[in-house]
Amino acid sequence: MKFTLNWLKDHLDTEAGLDEIAAKLSMIGLEVEGIEDRAKDLAPFKVAYVKEAKQHPNADRLRVCLVDTGTEVVQVVCGAPNARTGMKGIFAPAGCVIPGSGDVLKPGEIRGEKSNGMLVSEREMGLSDEHEGIIEVAADSEIGAPFAQIAGLDDPVIEVAITPNRGDCLGVRGIARDLAAAGLGTLKPVDLSPVPGSFDSPMIWRRDLPEDAQDACPYVAGRLFRHIENGPSPKWMQARLRAIGLRPISALVDITNYVTYDLNRPLHVFDAAKVKGDPVMRLAREGEEIVALDGETYRLSPGMVVIADEAGPEGIGGVMGGEPSGVSPETSEVFLEVALFDPVRVAITGRRLGILSDARYRFERGLDPQSAVWGAEVAARLILDICGGEASHVVNAGVMPSAERHLSLRPGRVAALGGVEVPAADQTRILTDLGFEVSQSGEKIDVKVPGWRNDVECEACLVEEVLRIRGFDEIPAVALPRQGDLPDAVLTPAQKRVSLARTALAWRGLEEAVTFSFVSRREAAMFGGGAAALRLDNPISADLDVMRPSVLPGLAAAAARNADRGLSAAALFEIGPQYADATPKGQTRAAAGLRAGPAGPRHWSAAPRGVDALDAKADALAVLAACGAPVDNLQTTRDAPSWYHPGRSGALRLGPNILAHFGELHPRVLEGFSLRGPAVAFEVFLDKVPLPRAKDGKLKAPPALSPFQAVERDFAFLVDADVPADKLIRAAKGADKALIAKVDLFDVYTGKGVEADRKSLAIAVTLQPKDRTLTDPEIEAAAAKIVAAVTKATGAVLRG
Amino acid sequence: MEDLDHLKSSLMDEVAAARDPGALEAVRVRVLGKKGAVTQRMKTLGGLEPEARKAAGQALNALKDALAGAIEARKTALADEALSARLERETVDVTLPGRPAPAGHIHPISQTLEELVAIFGEMGFSVAEGPDIEDDFHNFTALNIPQEHPARQDHDTFYLPPLTPDAARMVLRTHTSPVQIRTMQSVEPPIRIIVPGRTYRADSDATHSPMFHQVEGLVIDEAAHMGHLKGTLIDFCRAFFGISDLPVRFRPSYFPFTEPSAEVDIGCSREGGQLKIGHGKDWLEILGSGMVHPKVLENCGIDSTRYQGFAFGMGIERIAMLKYGMPDLRPFYDSDLRWLRHYGFLPLETPSMVRGL
């Protein structure tokens, strides 16, 4: 919402300056977004007198002018045909910035003649496209007078952001009222008195609305004006409209725009000669079309309100008028429309048609219903003043809806909710200044809400009005009382695990990424997703149109982007949501990671090695360990989903509960993301990791620190190549559970000395006696049990 | 005795001449062994007169001790020499790069979130979470944003198909506020929560991302008023930016779910084109807040005549950018390893109010 300082002062009697007004606006909830003080920008440009304009000796079309600026006489070379001796124009001194082009004006020489400045055109001043000649000002203009003043551009423009609840401040008067209440002056009276008509309107309003849509346009008023002239509007009106970014068109159009911005009362005028029969407020019919004032053709649908005549729709109610019945310079009779429309219907209509007009913006926020009455008077006064002619009596249709709302305010509520004591008398004064009718009723203040404040609907709203005008600065800041000396734990155990998983992965050298929750359908399909229920109706692009089934597509795309930048060694992780369906339960949290390229940086001490599935397994196990999963009890199975390499992937599970997948990404997935070379990945499903039982607390059993020497024995077994190592380890562990403390697999060998379909697995078994030192025979006996158990489970043969 | 002196000096020379432990041992055997020169002389003592035996014995013992000492000293010297030589041989180029074990980094969004948790945790808040795919009721209606309300137009909502054919379409939550509703529906006041999470708006340009993060705060009890709102948020802003006298101001504003509503600005300076948080001529908006609207309380089944409270919300990326100086929003989601390493945090930098943020 834009307005000028002088416009504001039409409604507000104030001594306050621009800065003070701006500061106050922001502090009462009308946030200032910008102030354009054109007098400041245009300060260098002043009225100057052309003492002499003579032909340039070396150029037919140029003149050499001696210009009196009031302080000096300057020579300027000018190409304008209207530059002549004795005229007054606008002089731009060398060094200033030309508004139209943004260029800095430099002193120079044109075909041998010095030129120290410029006589400017309207285009150069950024006012219009006019460049035929230079600006000429009246002969009695004072030399040296600022151009901004001469041109009526010395009125600063203020732009405020109006929140959706404050439709009333989409008119300058509403803003003035707020400022007056906040102590920045007094609200001037506005003349809303009736303008008598001199004849009966030949046109009347009719309403033809179904019973269930009476509120679509509950009331409409109008009157006819005849013998008018629709020339240009007065200069002052044009200047104000231009200042707020509107293009003056004709007196009638400008008047409707002016009233819209001045009093927040949208109006429309029909060229009466172009309306056939009485205008009717009705719902649009299927298939009806209208050419609106913006020149576009809109296809209407039932539910939209139209203003129609016998020929069809002539306007879209509350949104935009129609072109065929619009006014032109030849118009001599107009019919005025001052209507009330249902805000929701206007919003839907505007949204469906894609029209965001000044009228829609105001109607969908709600208007003061009474404005339909005084709007016809205000408009009449301006039309008669500016366009002449005569006005008919007012005609109307429908019933003025009752907008009366009564609320009560307990004065103590301001302190209880607002935290600041405001004397009841001050509360009454503030509400009165804002237009509320206030009366004392026992302990309470009875309040009648003015029609233009449809946003005020409960006691808390009244508290806000009081506090807002009083100023939030008045509220003392108080620390929130502590609920105890020490705060409780902030995170639940499940939330804490997220933090631990993140720390663990970062320590392992993976960089944390945050990628979008939506991916392309193609990417989702590679990870088993893309269901219709998870597709966005209105994605911002086809690449981001479905909720991701896994965190991995985002990481794979990220790795590919990094590879394109020359960073092919990527180690990335993300802890975030994945979506199985659109219900709250369908969203689960995964800690996923991806490694591509060589494992670790190249270094002099070690031969380079590519990442493999077991790097990903180690990452997954690190997350699980950080989350407190019983990692020693996990089984590794070979059943990873389809986006993993079937031979180089697995699942980590506790029985049927799958906690993680890991492995090399499937070559087709790599291809799908244009990833060169293998990449490995893991997904840990954090919600699946069992939580520790709260009742167990933090207590730990004491450790079994045996005083007796542990014994370590190595064994190498030959097994079939397809025997899982895990099976052998478990068999060894199970050979004597009381004695065997741990089994480490330290070598896997194939090649010379081992048959092609066999492999050698070497384990180190630690025997830990608890009550005595082991004797050699006991050690031998244990070793024999281990060999027997492993052989039985895996068909292994002990290597000699 | 001269004979002994001579012997001593010749044996001492032999000890000194021993070049390695083996040679030294040979000398020791030659001198002090069973057949050694000194031992042989000892054996001759028996044939002397008692007086002479005593004198000669003392002299021989002194000689023996001196030689044993010299051998021991020589042994130590040889060991020292050997060790020095070994150390010399074992020299490596210590200017070579050390063995790498690079740590990764925590994303600035996560780090900022942990900072928020640390600060609000001190004030007795806990963390609540909710789904990203929301229904119309939780994201809009319960928050007093009816269908076709102009406030909805600001939300640029992403829609998904309805769960059942006759239901309203699902939405990607446009703010974290639906979690306020879910919490109030399920928990009895008093309530003090913060709600961090992903949020979505169908808007994408240099300063808008279709996905971003917010943190929401909610306090509901019987007495929380706007003074507490101010106190809480001033304390937060000062703690987060680490400026104990940071100017903070509250401006009236509008949110459908709060009444009164306030936007929160912090002081800053833009001198020389450089944005600096702190005392300065300008203000920077960073938060929205307000007293929870009685309709919202009632929509959640909370008695608005008994309970009241406040809510606030802010963009996590935005406050991270202000605190850590990232100039652009988009790289937050681009996963450029160079950016992540530059702006990310080492995993040991766990935010805590006790250690300082």
A177 vs A184: CA distance, rounded Å: 10
Q: Position of tokens 């909830």? A: A29
Same domain, yes or no, for B315 and B239?
A: yes
Q: What is the mean pLDDT of residues A583-606?
A: 93
On whether the CB atoms of residues A642 and A528 are closer than 8 A, the answer is: yes
Q: Is residue B124 part of a domain?
A: yes
**Residue numbers in B near A459 (CB within 8 A):** 294
End-to-end Cα, chain B, rounded Å? 85
**Residue numbers in B near A467 (CB within 8 A):** 226, 252, 260
Comparing C-alpha atoms, which of A400, A428, A402, A404 is closest to residue A414?
Answer: A428
Which has more confidence, A679 or A799? A679
Q: Is it the case that residue B51 has pLDDT exceeding 90?
A: no
Angle between helix A172-181 and helix A251-263 axes, rounded to 10 deg: 30
Same domain, yes or no, for B63 and B200?
A: no
CATH code for the domain in which residue B201 is found: 3.30.930.10
Total of domains in chain B:
2
- Ordered domains of chain A (ranges, CATH): 2-37+156-187 (3.30.56.10), 40-150 (2.40.50.140), 206-398 (3.50.40.10), 405-470 (3.30.56.10), 493-601+609-693 (3.30.930.10), 711-798 (3.30.70.380)
On whether the CB atoms of residues A50 and A87 are closer than 8 A, the answer is: yes
Please give the residue of chain B at the shortest CA–CA distance from A465: B260
Q: Is residue B94 part of a domain?
A: no
pLDDT in tens, A111-134: 888 888 899 988 888 777 778 889
Q: Do A31 and B253 touch (CB under 8 A)?
A: yes
Same domain, yes or no, for B85 and B119?
A: no
Read off the amino acid at residue A94: A
pLDDT in tens, A265-279: 999 999 999 999 999
Q: Is residue B45 part of a domain?
A: yes
A610 vs A571: CA distance, rounded Å: 12
Coil, helix or strand for B83? helix
Which helix (H) or strand (E) element contains residue B249? strand B248-255
Mutation site, A512, A521, A535, A564, interface B, largest B CB count within 10 A: A512
For the ranges A23-32, A309-318, A463-472, B21-30, the lowest mean pLDDT is seen at B21-30
Q: Do A513 and B340 touch (CB under 8 A)?
A: yes
Q: What is the mean pLDDT of residues B50-58?
A: 86
Instruction: Note down the domain range covering B311.
Output: 108-343
**Residue numbers in A near B219 (CB within 8 A):** 480
B82 vs B23: CA distance, rounded Å: 14
Mutation site, A537, A602, A673, interface B, largest B CB count within 10 A: A537
DSSP output for A20-70: HHHHHHHHTT-EEEEEE-HHHHTTT-EEEEEEEEEE-TT-TT-EEEEEE-S
Same domain, yes or no, for B75 and B142?
A: no
DSSP output for B116-163: HHHHHHHTT-EE----SEE-HHHHTGGGT--TT-HHHHTT---EE--S
Q: Do B251 and A27 touch (CB under 8 A)?
A: yes
**Residue numbers in A near B347 (CB within 8 A):** 502-503, 506-507
Q: Do A477 and B133 touch (CB under 8 A)?
A: no
Same domain, yes or no, for B213 and B285?
A: yes
The sheet carrying A679-685 orders its strands as A511-512, A570-579, A587-596, A679-685, A657-665, A644-654, A635-637
Same domain, yes or no, for B183 and B287?
A: yes
pLDDT in tens, A640-652: 999 999 999 999 9
* pLDDT for position B193: 97
Q: Is residue B48 part of a domain?
A: yes
Comparing C-alpha atoms, which of A213, A217, A411 is closest to residue A306?
Answer: A217
Compute how many other C-beta atoms are within 10 angstroms of the C-beta atom of residue A179.
Answer: 25
Q: Write down the H helix ranges in B33-97.
A: 37-43, 50-89
B350 vs B322: CA distance, rounded Å: 20
Q: Is it the case that residue A626 has pLDDT exceeding 70?
A: yes
Strands A390-391 and A334-340: unpaired
Q: Is residue B100 part of a domain?
A: no
Instruction: Give the contacts of A4 (CB within 8 A, at least 6 positions apart).
Output: A155, A156, A157, A158, A240, A243, A244
Same domain, yes or no, for B116 and B166?
A: yes
> For residue B310, how far is the Cα from the chain centroid?
32
On whether the CB atoms of residues B319 and B266 are closer than 8 A, the answer is: no
Closest Cβ opposite residue A479 in set B151, B231, B251: B231
Q: What is the mean pLDDT of residues A735-745?
A: 94
A299 vs A313: CA distance, rounded Å: 11
Q: Is it the case that residue B237 has pLDDT exceeding 90?
A: yes
Q: What is the mean pLDDT of residues A301-320?
A: 95
* pLDDT for position A231: 94
* pLDDT for position A210: 95
Same domain, yes or no, for B189 and B301?
A: yes
Domain boundary among B89, B116, B149: B89
A170 vs A165: CA distance, rounded Å: 11
Q: How many residues does chain A have?
A: 800
Confirm or reject contact between B259 and chain A (CB < 8 A).
Answer: yes
Domain boundary among B60, B89, B118: B89
Instruction: Give the contacts of A699 (CB within 8 A, at least 6 positions apart).
Output: none
Mutation site, B230, B236, B316, B330, interface A, largest A CB count within 10 A: B230
**Residue numbers in A near B122 (CB within 8 A):** 487
* pLDDT for position A148: 87
Distance from CA of B160 to the nearest CA of A (A): 5
* pLDDT for position A605: 87
**Residue numbers in B near A506 (CB within 8 A):** 103-106, 346-347
Q: What is the ipTM of this complex?
A: 0.89
**Residue numbers in A near B334 (CB within 8 A):** 558, 561
Dihedrals phi, psi of B285, to nearest 5 degrees: -80, 130
Please give the residue of chain A at the shortest CA–CA distance from B191: A483
Confirm or reject contact between B140 and chain A (CB < 8 A).
Answer: no
Confirm or reject contact between B161 and chain A (CB < 8 A).
Answer: yes
A583 vs B297: CA distance, rounded Å: 24
Same domain, yes or no, for B220 and B273?
A: yes
**Residue numbers in A near B293 (CB within 8 A):** 460
Q: Is it the case that residue B148 has pLDDT exceeding 90?
A: no
The sheet carrying A88-92 orders its strands as A73-78, A63-68, A46-55, A88-92, A118-119
Q: Do A472 and B250 touch (CB under 8 A)?
A: yes
Q: Which residues of A564-600 are buried (b: 16+ CB within 10 A; e: fewer)?
A: eeeebbbbbbbbbbbbbebeeebbebbbbbbbbbebb
Tokens of B282: 């300008």
A181 vs A435: CA distance, rounded Å: 9
Q: Is it the case that residue A664 has pLDDT exceeding 70?
A: yes
pLDDT band at A447 (very low <50, low <70, confident <90, very high): very high
* pLDDT for position B2: 59
Q: Is it the case that residue A627 has pLDDT exceeding 70?
A: yes
Q: Do B333 and A514 touch (CB under 8 A)?
A: yes
Domain boundary among B23, B56, B89: B89
Q: Do B336 and A562 touch (CB under 8 A)?
A: yes
pLDDT band at B1 (very low <50, low <70, confident <90, very high): low
Closest Cβ opposite residue B105 in set A483, A512, A603: A512
* pLDDT for position A151: 80
* pLDDT for position B224: 97
pLDDT band at A292 (very low <50, low <70, confident <90, very high): very high
CB pairs under 8 A between A and B: 271
Question: What's the whole-number average pLDDT of chain B?
Answer: 92
Mutation site, A363, A464, A572, A623, interface B, largest B CB count within 10 A: A464
Confirm or reject contact between B11 and chain A (CB < 8 A).
Answer: no
Which residues between 325 and 354 in chain B have a beta carbon less than 8 angstroms from any beta carbon of chain A?
332-338, 340-341, 344, 346-347, 350
Q: Do B117 and A419 touch (CB under 8 A)?
A: no
Question: What's the whole-number average pLDDT of chain A?
Answer: 93
Mutation site, B259, B295, B350, B352, interface A, largest A CB count within 10 A: B259
Comparing C-alpha atoms, which of B233, B198, B215 is closest to residue B310?
Answer: B233
Tokens of A782: 């244990």
pLDDT band at A98 (very low <50, low <70, confident <90, very high): confident
Confirm or reject contact between B197 and chain A (CB < 8 A).
Answer: no
- Please report, for residues A96, A118, A140, A246, the alpha-carbon distance to residue A42 in angstroms, rounded to integers and kept in the order given: 9, 14, 21, 20
Q: Is residue B101 part of a domain?
A: no
pLDDT above 90 covers a percentage of chain A that reads: 80
For B35: left if phi > 0, alpha if psi spans -120 to 50, otherwise beta; the answer is alpha
Q: Do A509 and B101 touch (CB under 8 A)?
A: yes
The whole-model pTM stands at 0.88
pLDDT in tens, B247-264: 999 999 999 999 999 999
Whether the bond between B260 and the residue before it is cis, its omega within 30 degrees of 0, is: yes
Which has more confidence, B7 or B136? B136
Which has more confidence, A506 or B13? A506
pLDDT in tens, A363-413: 999 999 999 999 999 999 999 999 999 999 999 999 998 878 999 999 899
pLDDT band at B357 (very low <50, low <70, confident <90, very high): confident
**Residue numbers in B near A364 (CB within 8 A):** 148, 150
Q: Is it the case that residue A795 has pLDDT exceeding 90?
A: yes
Distance from CA of A704 to the nearest CA of B (A): 32
Same domain, yes or no, for B65 and B186?
A: no
Q: Is it the case that residue A333 has pLDDT exceeding 90?
A: yes
Tokens of B344: 């990310």
Q: Is it the case that residue A584 has pLDDT exceeding 60?
A: yes
Please give the residue of chain B at the shortest CA–CA distance from A344: B148
Instruction: Give the contacts of A150 (CB within 8 A, at least 6 positions apart).
Output: A47, A90, A137, A141
Q: Is residue B96 part of a domain?
A: no
Q: Is residue B99 part of a domain?
A: no
Q: Do B261 and A464 touch (CB under 8 A)?
A: yes
Q: Do B133 and A584 touch (CB under 8 A)?
A: yes
* pLDDT for position B268: 95
* pLDDT for position A122: 86
**Residue numbers in B near A166 (CB within 8 A):** 254
Strands B126-127 and A797-798: unpaired
A114 vs A57: CA distance, rounded Å: 12
* pLDDT for position B356: 80
Tokens of A366: 């709600």
Compute how many other C-beta atoms are within 10 angstroms of the C-beta atom of residue A357.
Answer: 21
Which has more confidence, A59 or A732? A732
Same domain, yes or no, for B85 and B121?
A: no
Angle at A356 between CA A355 and CA A359, to 5 degrees: 110
Q: Do A490 and B344 touch (CB under 8 A)?
A: no
End-to-end Cα, chain A, rounded Å? 92
Read off the amino acid at residue B187: V
DSSP output for B168-219: PPEEE-SSSTHHHHHHHHHSPSPEEEEEEEEEE-S--BTTB-SEEEEEEEEE
Q: Is it the case that residue A463 has pLDDT exceeding 90?
A: yes
Mutation site, A352, A422, A480, A615, interface B, largest B CB count within 10 A: A480
Same domain, yes or no, for B217 and B290?
A: yes
